Structure 1
Amino acid sequence: MSTVRTMRRLGAVSAAAIAATIAFAGPASAHAEVTASNAQALAKDVVLTFTGEAESESGGFTEVRVVLPEGIAPGDVTLDEAPKGWKMTSTKDGYTLSGPKLAVGTNAVHKVKVRQLPDAKSLAFKTIETYSDGKVSRWIELPGDGPEPEEPAPVLELKAAAAGAKPAKSPSPSPSRDAADKASDKASGTSDKASGDSGTTEKKADEEENSNAGAATAIGISIGVLIVAGAGLWVFKQRRSAG
């Protein structure tokens, strides 16, 4: 009997240990990943699918932020598919998707189309996920020579570029608001300066006109004086001749 009881106890302890291990390993096994419709360097119009596995037991996803790797500009990416009600917002180094919270335990899956993949062997997409309960998962660690990262960023391995494939030029980014404001301020300053220069020119013109008018008046008076003096001298000579 004692042997049977011992076996039962060992069985119970083993079951509890297994359950605890599973419970502990469950959230840790969650991760973020990326796949591609064509995982090849310099491939065009590639659809990337991002999957964020739910790991919160009390909240649903509300936001996913992706940092694009070098060679992919925010302007090269367009939204292809996302959870209902979620919207994309471009950032200086990638994009953010956010919207109504997903049901607890529901994975966050979205797709974007990339104009062209860069000429690289692999691409890492650092991803930050936010839940409605305030939990934040940061899948931003890059693989290296050391131990495997605990929170690895999604990495896409690429095949070599097809023969003859060439990188296309990315569309020129739109001027930022700051740049637009600076341009506007500069234009305004130029306009004000031009206005000030115009006022100065008009003032100088008025001064020159007044100066010229004054000079003309002085000359006229001088001529008048000479005429009067000449006439007086002529009358004096006539009278002297007559006398």
Structure 2
Amino acid sequence: MAGVATALVLAAPAFAHVQVQADKPQAGARDVTITFTGEAESPRAGIKSERVVLPPGIGPEDVRLAKAPTDWKLSRNPDGFTVAGPALKVGQDAVWAVTIAQLPSNATEPPFKTLETYSDGTVARWIEIPEAGKPEPDNPAPVLKVKPAAAVPTSASPTATSAAPAPSSAAPNATHRPTANTTGGKALWISLIAVAVVVAAIVASVRWRRRSRR
């Protein structure tokens, strides 16, 4: 009976998953570090590589390695990246992290399909996209659930009606003030008239005196 039970356990479908979480779980966030945890499911072999297919909006050039098992390296693929190295111990989960330049701003559940390869050549394909309202698929792809993108600030409100134009330098209907040249000319004529009057008065006085002496 014990042997039969063991056989049934080994024959049952694997329920291990690849989990993902982000330090900045918001769509459109920049310089986001995503940590992956690939659960070990093989009783005979250790994990030796993890290949990730990036969701739309993220390119391989936008990814850099932030954390990985000892001696594991990152290489870029046309549709994503792979982290690989010496096989881990049997039963040891693979934990690695990458920093992404920017998450897509239009997705709150971007999937990261992952192919997990063991040292015996076995490949666990976590590539099926879960659908809302349906049972979880047998090999669900890890999905990063994030908040919607931050609202874009609206443009500044229209400015108030512009101030009335400044009055012109010369106010309308203002009394005309004579210029310096005009004033000076009038003063000169007044002076000349005054001198003529004085001269005429002197001449008249001299004539009157002469007449009185006669």
Tell me which interval the TM-score lies in, with the shorter structure as reference length.
Answer: 0.5 to 0.7
Measured after TM superposition, the shift of residue 45 of structure 1 is 0.8
Alignment partner of 1:52 is 2:35: no
Query: 1:122 aligns to what SS in structure 2?
Result: coil
CA contact (8 A) 1:34 1:155 kept: yes
What's 1:83 paired with?
A: 69
The residue type paired with residue 51 of structure 2 is R
In structure 2, the residue matched to 1:239 is none
Deviation per CA, 1:194-236, whole angstroms, max 9, x where unpaired?
xxxxxxxxxxxxxxxxxxxxxxxxxxxxxxxxxxxxxxxxxxx
Query: Could you tell me which residue of structure 2 aligns to residue 121 of structure 1?
Result: 108
In structure 2, runs of 5+ residues without a counterpart are: 154-214
Residue type at the aligned position of 1:153 = A
Q: Which runs of 5+ in 1 are unaligned?
A: 1-12, 166-243
Q: What is the number of residues matched between the two proteins?
A: 151
Report the CA distance shift for 1:24/1:57 in structure 2 as closer, same or farther (over 3 A): closer
Residues 1:141 and 2:128 are matched in the alignment:
yes
Which residue identity is paired with 1:140? I
Mapped to 2, the partners of 1:154 and 1:21 lie a distance apart of 29
* 1:143-197 Cα distance to aligned partner (Å, 9 max, x none): 13543210000001110112338xxxxxxxxxxxxxxxxxxxxxxxxxxxxxxxx
CA separation of 1:93/1:37 partners in 2, compared to 1, >3 Å: closer, same or farther? same
- For residue 110 of structure 2, give the secondary structure of its aligned residue in structure 1: strand
Instruction: Give the secondary structure class of the aligned counterpart of 1:156.
Output: coil
Structure of larger gyration radius: 2
* Cα pair distance change 1:44/1:26, threshold 3 Å: farther
Q: Kindly, what percent of the aligned residue pairs are identical? A: 54
Separation of aligned partners in 2, 1:98 and 1:151:
21
Relative to 1, partners in 2 of residues 1:46 and 1:93: Cα closer, same or farther, differing over 3 Å? same
Q: Normalising by structure 2, what TM-score?
A: 0.65
Task: Return the alpha-carbon distance in structure 2 between the equivalents of residues 124 and 111 of structure 1.
Answer: 15
> In the alignment, which residue of structure 1 is the partner of 2:81?
95
Question: How many angstroms apart in 2 are the aligned matches of 1:26 and 1:36?
Answer: 32
TM-score norm. by structure 1 comes to 0.57
Instruction: Give the equivalent residue in structure 2 for 1:223.
Output: none
With over 3 angstroms needed to count, the CA separation of the structure-2 counterparts of 1:30 and 1:22, relative to structure 1, is: farther
Partner of 2:93: 107
Report which of the two has the higher share of helix: 1
Where does residue 233 of structure 1 map in the other structure?
A: none
